[in-house]
Structure 1
Amino acid sequence: MQEASFQGFIRTLIYIIAIYYIIKFLARLFLPLLVKKVVEKAGENFQKQQQYAQGNPWQKTPNNDEIIIDTANAKKTRETKKVGDYVDYEEID
């Protein structure tokens, strides 16, 4: 049966602290590069979507047919709902 020693605990603690600082140092080096790559990739995807939307044949009309809508039977006036009376406030000196 093994017993935990104080030296083993200190050694483990030093390893944990060393690994923490190594990861922190590497993150400062490589994280900006990673973020830059992600932003560039998102920009490229956005440009591709814009180009596809502008060149989409479904949105273009091949001929200029006129569409006439008969509005003779449609209501021309709409009533607005009255919510309440308007009260004019005056400033009192």
Structure 2
Amino acid sequence: MQTSGFNTIIETILFIYIFYYVFKFLAKLFLPLLVKKVVEKAGQNFQQQQQNAQNTTWGKTKNNDEVIIDTANAKKSRETKKVGDYVDYEEID
């Protein structure tokens, strides 16, 4: 069993210091590439979803040649609901 000493503490701190700077260096190298890949993949997914949406929309309108317009609702006038009375407030000096 080893006892902790000054040398062991220094070695641990040195190991953490080296690991931190190696990780920081590798992150500068590979993180931009990783972000670029993720953005490209998201763009491809977005384009694919848009194409699928357009294809399904165009597919539905191509098959339906008949257009039905409901004029019964267009002739009815809409009434506004009366919720309450208007109360005029005056300022008091």
AA at the equivalent of 2:41? K
Alignment correspondent of 1:14: 14
Matched, 1:64 2:73: no
Q: Return 5+ residue gaps in structure 1 as ranges.
A: 88-93
Name the one with the larger helix percent.
2
CA separation in 1, counterparts of 2:65 and 2:12?
Answer: 78
Distance between the aligned counterparts of 1:81 and 1:61, measured in 2? 45
Counterpart code for 2:35: V
1:39 has 2:39 as partner: yes
Structure 2 spans left out of the alignment, 5+ residues: 89-93
- How far does the alpha carbon of each residue in 1:36-81 deviate from its partner, in whole angstroms, 9 at most, with x for none? 0000000011111111111116643413213132426x74122144
| Partner amino acid, structure 2, of 1:38 | V
**What TM-score do the two structures reach when normalised by structure 1?**
0.75
Structure 1 vs Structure 2 CA RMSD: 2.6
* TM-score (norm. length: structure 2): 0.75
- Are residues 84 and 28 of structure 1, via their aligned partners in 2, closer, same or farther at CA, if it must alter by over 3 Å? farther
Tell me the distance in 2 between the aligned counterparts of 1:59 and 1:25: 54
| Aligned AA (2:24) | K
| Distance apart, 1:2 and its partner CA | 2.7
Distance 1:81 1:14, change over 3 A: farther
Aligned to 2:91: none
